[in-house]
Amino acid sequence: MKLAPTAPLPPVPASERRNAARRIRLMPSPTVTERIVVALLWAMAAITIAVLVFIIGYILLHGLPHVTWSFLTESPRRMGREGGVLPMIVGTVLVTGLAVLIAAPIGVATAVYLTEYTAEGRLTAVIRFGADCLAGIPSIVFGLFGFVFFAITLGLGLSILSGALTLALMVLPTIIRTSEEAIRAVPYAYREASFGLGSTRWQTTLYVVLRSALPGISTGVVLSVGRSISETAAVMLTAGSALGLPDSLFDSSRTLALHFYYLAQENISEANAYATAAVLVMAILAINLFAYWLMRRFIARGGHHA
Amino acid sequence: MPRKLVRPFILLSVFAGLCGLFSFGCPQDQRKTVKVMGSTSIQPFAEELGREFEAKHPGRKAQVEGGGSTAGIQALADGLADIGMCSRRLKEDEADRFTPVLIARDGLAIIVHPSNPVDDLSVEQLRGLFSGSITNWKDVGGNDAPVRIVSREEGSGTREAFMNLVMGKTRVARRAMVQASNGAIAAMVRSDPSAIGYMSLGQIGNDLKTVRVNHEAPTAESVLAGRYKLARPFLFVTSGKPGPDAQAFIDFVLSAEGQEILESEGLIRVK
Amino acid sequence: MKQDKLIKAILMAVALSAIGGLGLITLFIFKEGLPIILQIGVADFFCSTDWSPGEQRFGILSMIVGSVAVTLGAMAIGVVFSLGLAIVLTQFCPPKVAGVLKPLIELLAGIPSVVYGFIGMVTIIPLIREYVGGPGFSVLAASIVLGIMVLPTVTSISIDALNAVPRSFWEGSVALGATRWQTTHMLLLKAARSGILAAIILGMGRAIGETMAVIMVTGNSLEIPRAITDPVRTLTSNIALEMNYATGQHRKALFATGVTLFIIIMALNTLAMAVSRRRVAGGGNR
């Protein structure tokens, strides 16, 4: 193909030049734009915080007046229309506690292996891939799995144990990731000092690394507790929805979140629904505050040592 | 610094773990549990019966769960339950494998928003409304407003009873909104002036408007007299001969006291 | 040393539990769900809108469309706000204020999804019915609720992405006389774009996988929505709504719905990983 000689650019017509000049003049100066944009962005932040405050305030305002001592210590009557939520509190504590007790050691051990005991390679990539994928799986799919695997295949039935095992799998990635970050944040000099004193790798890990990383790890564990408490879809399919106090880990038990779902969705009792939600939200607030406090401590200590 | 934090934390978690495992880990020496599961329409009544049953039989425990009629029967088959609750007639293949016991009767109420002027519908009109061929309330003598249907989900005994009693071979329109319980249906209809739904007569509160069907109001008397056509059985289903604990619960439900409870809660007694 | 090797072996075995769990989940979900998809036929299962389990007809197109609709709606709302928040927190906010705002946003992630659903049901739905029309239970309601719910995820990953842009980029731009906003939108957002893209994809995963909140605000109708005020059913709510009630083929078909969800989520996860890996790989070249 022959290249045509490049034609000189046509002169810009005067009218267009004037237009361009006008456009530039009309455009707000960069500083003005910045002010507008920053105001908009702050407005968004304000709306978000307002939504948060609204949700928490709405629930607490409607619910707290109904949260009485008897509400917390009685069993529900007539499907939760009357009575309290004691069995749900017990159920929630058992399911959540057990889930975290199962997941925490596994998660921390995984994090220790990834950080202290092996070099980055194909195996670590596979483990991380597994954890990342697990983190993305929707809770309803965990529920389906827990139902068919724990409840039916392993014969545990709709029970606290099935629910706890399912939740353990669900919070595992969170614990792995936060523990790994906490362990990585421990300065390398600590390990060198420990090895220098003749400790084995295991001693170093146990007494130096894990001990320094503990607040960070605890933050992850506490956040997992929060996530387990909030979970509804997965426990609905695995822990069942029995209203009574459980006698054993093989009994079905309804968690607070699921109880709230039934009360609200089936319109059983507005007062009890709000009160249950208030208990739930208070628990979540307390857990997040605790996690925040632990995190601050961790950062403060890290800063001090660095 | 760390020591201060480590100890309580470890102690606390170990303590919690031991508490959980020891106090709840040994099911053998506990009360004998009857697991009852199925229809959410029967569930509230079974809960109530269960509490009275436990009060009379301290050594026994009735654990009632919802799930739906079909799920109750499936749970029987899976061995997850001792008694299935079923709020419709058994299907043929189910009747071959399981034994039903009639514990009460229930009406199926058609509900609309209290502001809706329509108060009498024929079964044909109901079929038209729910199949989507009647789309405006003015076609059945109401306001000029679109009809919004609220139905139950697949597998619900209430839905199946409604399909048998009203719809026949006609399908519920696909644009029908679906909720998974009587209460949820009631909530949706209560809040929407142009909604219509169906639910268990036994669970109707005071703030809902029921529609007469073929000029007959849904009441216990009209169901019992056979004048109100939309009625269905409440069944307890067992797999073969029930165990002693399950049998005790069934006996209690069929006793005068059990039937009394069912009647006072809005159902129609059978004994 | 021998003890060390033993410990290493034990730790490795435990570490494999995450991938083992993933394997088990995949195995059991597919074992329950895949046969019925093949039996019905892939085309019939995914491309039919006829979901009548009573008549053994299982087509999930309506639910797929429903999930996609509410997810897109949620992203339209969630992404704008999340990016705004991420930019404010990283560029225009004194560190002290950011230290307060960040945990508050994380608190949003901690609120149970049933509470979101409930708040949506009692506040948003009456508003929509009154002022926008339709029954209130709608794609729009779900989009708003999910938009708020994905906000913490998208915001925190976007913040990481923006923080990962080398400080020298910012310094260079400001030294050339650009304002902070010019620097942000011309430079930082472009440099962090793959990270932000990963954040958006993960947010989509969150939205598509959410169950309880969605059940409470969508009305769960089986028809493909024609307007944003129409009710809709998603894949997740289809499972949660009918799972307890399902037997036989119906239950298997719900597992098949789970398989579909699983595949979509895995595709999104892999996409997000690929996108953020590209950022890491490309970082050195720039």
- Could you report the average pLDDT of every consecutive run of 10 residues in chain A (306 residues)? 62 77 73 88 92 94 90 79 86 94 94 88 88 92 94 88 94 93 89 89 88 89 92 90 81 89 82 92 92 81 46
Average confidence (pLDDT) over B243-264: 88
Average confidence (pLDDT) over B28-55: 81
* B111 & B224 share domain: yes
This prediction has a pTM of: 0.85
pLDDT tens-digit series, residues B55-72: 888 888 888 887 778 888
pLDDT at residue number A75: 82
pLDDT at residue number C278: 60
pLDDT tens-digit series, residues C153-165: 999 999 999 998 8
* B100 & B140 share domain: no
Average confidence (pLDDT) over C247-252: 85
* B178 & B242 share domain: no
* B120 & B145 share domain: yes
Among C residues 151-190, those touching chain A with beta carbons less than 8 Å apart: 151, 178-182
B226 has pLDDT over 60? yes
Sign of the CA dihedral running B216, B222, B227, B232? positive
Q: Of A83-87, C127-131, C213-217, which range is least confident?
A: A83-87
Owning domain of residue B61: 32-106+233-264
Mutate to test the interface with A, among B6, B13, B24 (most CBs of A within 10 A): B24
Q: Which chain A residues touch C268 with a CB distance below 8 Å?
A: 136
Residue B189 and residue B196 in contact, taking contact as beta carbons nearer than 8 Å: yes
Output the CA torsion B41→B42→B48→B51 (10° steps): -130
Q: Of B3-7, B24-28, B111-115, B216-220, which range is least confident?
A: B24-28
**Between B15 and A219, whose confidence is greater?**
A219
pLDDT at residue number A43: 93
Residue C50 and residue A166 in contact, taking contact as beta carbons nearer than 8 Å: no
* B221 & B116 share domain: yes
pLDDT at residue number A20: 75
Q: Angle CA(B239)–CA(B241)–CA(B247) in degrees, nearest 5?
A: 105
Tracing tokens 């210590």 back to the chain, one arrives at A73
Residue B245 corresponds to which tokens in the numbers above? 């604990």
Mean pLDDT of chain C: 89
Average confidence (pLDDT) over B88-94: 84
pLDDT at residue number B29: 43
ipTM, 2 decimals?
A: 0.91
* B259 & B180 share domain: no
B10 has pLDDT over 60? no
Domain of residue B115, CATH code = 3.40.190.10
Are the Cβ atoms of C202 and A136 closer than 8 angstroms?
yes
From 2.60.120.380, 3.90.550.10, 1.10.3720.10, 3.40.50.1000, which CATH number describes the A67-179+214-305 domain? 1.10.3720.10
Residue A230 and residue A138 in contact, taking contact as beta carbons nearer than 8 Å: no
B21 has pLDDT over 60? no
What is the DSSP annotation of chain C?
-HHHHHHHHHHHHHHTHHHHHHHHHHHHHHHHHHHHHHHH-HHHHHH---EEGGGTEE--HHHHHHHHHHHHHHHHHHHHHHHHHHHHHHHSS-HHHHHHHHHHHHHHHHS-HHHHHHHIIIIIHHHHHHHT-S-S-SHHHHHHHHHHHHHHHHHHHHHHHHHHS-HHHHHHHHHTT--HHHHIIIIIHHHTHHHHHHHHHHHHHHHHH--HHHHHHHBT-SSPPSSTTS-B--HHHHHHHHGGG--HHHHHHHHHHHHHHHHHHHHHHHHHHHHHHHHHHHHTT-
Among A residues 90-149, those touching chain C with beta carbons less than 8 Å apart: 105-106, 109-110, 112-114, 117-118, 123, 126-127, 129-134, 136-145, 147-149
Confidence of residue B13 (pLDDT cuts 50, 70, 90): low
C242 has pLDDT over 90? no
pLDDT at residue number C284: 37
**A148 touches B: beta carbon within 8 Å:** no
Average confidence (pLDDT) over C8-16: 90
Are the Cβ atoms of A251 and B25 closer than 8 angstroms?
no
pLDDT tens-digit series, residues C69-121: 999 999 999 999 999 999 999 988 888 888 888 888 888 888 999 999 999 99
pLDDT at residue number B222: 85
pLDDT at residue number A244: 77
pLDDT tens-digit series, residues B139-196: 888 888 889 999 998 878 888 889 988 888 888 888 899 988 888 888 888 888 889 9
Average confidence (pLDDT) over C237-246: 85
**Could you give the CA distance from residue B96 to residue B87 in angstroms, rounded to a whole number?**
18
C177 Rama class: left (phi>0) / alpha (psi -120 to 50) / beta: left
How many domains does the structure of chain B reveal?
A: 2
* B146 & B252 share domain: no
What is the domain partition of chain A in residue ranges? 67-179+214-305
pLDDT at residue number B44: 82
B2 has pLDDT over 60? no
Residue A268 and residue A80 in contact, taking contact as beta carbons nearer than 8 Å: yes
**Could you give the CA distance from residue C126 to residue C132 in angstroms, rounded to a whole number?**
10
* B57 & B144 share domain: no
Confidence of residue B25 (pLDDT cuts 50, 70, 90): very low
pLDDT at residue number B26: 44
Confidence of residue C57 (pLDDT cuts 50, 70, 90): confident
C243 has pLDDT over 50? yes
Residues of chain B above pLDDT 90, percent: 12
* B118 & B207 share domain: yes
* B129 & B185 share domain: yes
Confidence of residue C46 (pLDDT cuts 50, 70, 90): very high
**Could you give the CA distance from residue C124 to residue C101 in angstroms, rounded to a whole number?**
25
Residues of chain C above pLDDT 70, percent: 96
Q: Which among A38, A52, A131 has CB closest to C181?
A: A38
- Domains, chain C, with CATH or none: 58-285 (1.10.3720.10)
Residue B225 corresponds to which tokens in the numbers above? 């007299």
